[in-house]
Amino acid sequence: MPDGTVIERGGKNLTENEGGWNDGKQRKIGCFAPDVLDGIIRYLRGITLPDGGLPFVFKSAGEYTHAPWWRAERDDVPSINPTGSILGLLYKQRVRTEIFAEEWFVKNEAYVWRVVEREEPAGYHDGVNWLMFLLHAPDRNRAERHLSKFDAWLGRPGTIERNPDAEGYVHKVLDWAPRPDSHAAKFVTESEVREHLEALVRLQREDGGWPIHWQTVSPGAELAWRGWITVERLKTLRAYGVI
């Protein structure tokens, strides 16, 4: 299933992951538009929970057609997904740096640090939120200590799916390392990358696109997600010199 977000449907504009995400449209054009940032900041300021953190999804999502995982009995509980990635992306922008001292941001930052100090990722989606935060947190000494902890988790058997033909909702070598310079690339071998690239090429459908591997709510939603994932697959193939 896609990552959590409280910003946009599907979470693919603001909460993209360092492992398999890009960083959204802002990064693609090399800037963060001030007017867009101002709207995002107003929204985040309003939904930050009292003790920090953002909810995975609001209960109101249940009032509309939604994927099975977009359900919540409570929306007053923070989630590292998407809080970690959102803060990581906000760290990267240099347009509205004054927000780093604002109360809502400081609360969110403290929440993420509590999570990475006391817990470990529960899976891929937690993991990429940890990673986006730790790669861009300004306190580099603190971040590097926790990156070592993250790397120990990432290197465990089963965290990265090594079987290029594995089916179901799994996250494979190229999900974690969509580019040669991805953080997770050091945990995979050249032969594994080659095998997964060959498998990726085989998965392309007759219509030119790639399939998704999670349940959708409608044929229209499937087509929309296939368009997104096809672009991501092509970017990966280009990054590794296949196309």
**Amino acid symbol at 91:** Y
Domain count, the chain: 2
CB 243 within 8 A of CB 237: yes
Q: Does one domain contain both 54 and 142?
A: yes
- Boundary-marking domain end, from 103, 136, 154: 154
What pLDDT score was predicted for residue 11? 36
Q: Does one domain contain both 147 and 167?
A: no
Q: Does one domain contain both 68 and 127?
A: yes
Q: What is the CA radius of gyration of the chain?
A: 18
Closest by Cα among 102, 171, 110, 172 to 137: 110
Query: What are 18-73's pLDDT values in tens digits?
Result: 554 444 444 444 568 899 999 999 999 999 999 999 999 999 998 988 888 888 88
Q: Does one domain contain both 143 and 186?
A: no
Below-70 pLDDT ranges, the chain: 1-31
Q: Which domain holds residue 237?
A: 161-243
Q: Does one domain contain both 134 and 213?
A: no
What pLDDT score was predicted for residue 65? 84
pTM: 0.87
What pLDDT score was predicted for residue 66? 84
- Boundary-marking domain end, from 126, 154, 182: 154
Alpha-carbon span 164 to 197, nearest angstrom: 9
Alpha-carbon span 147 to 153, nearest angstrom: 10
Alpha-carbon span 77 to 75, nearest angstrom: 5
Q: Does one domain contain both 198 and 223?
A: yes
Q: Does one domain contain both 143 and 224?
A: no
Q: Does one domain contain both 73 and 98?
A: yes
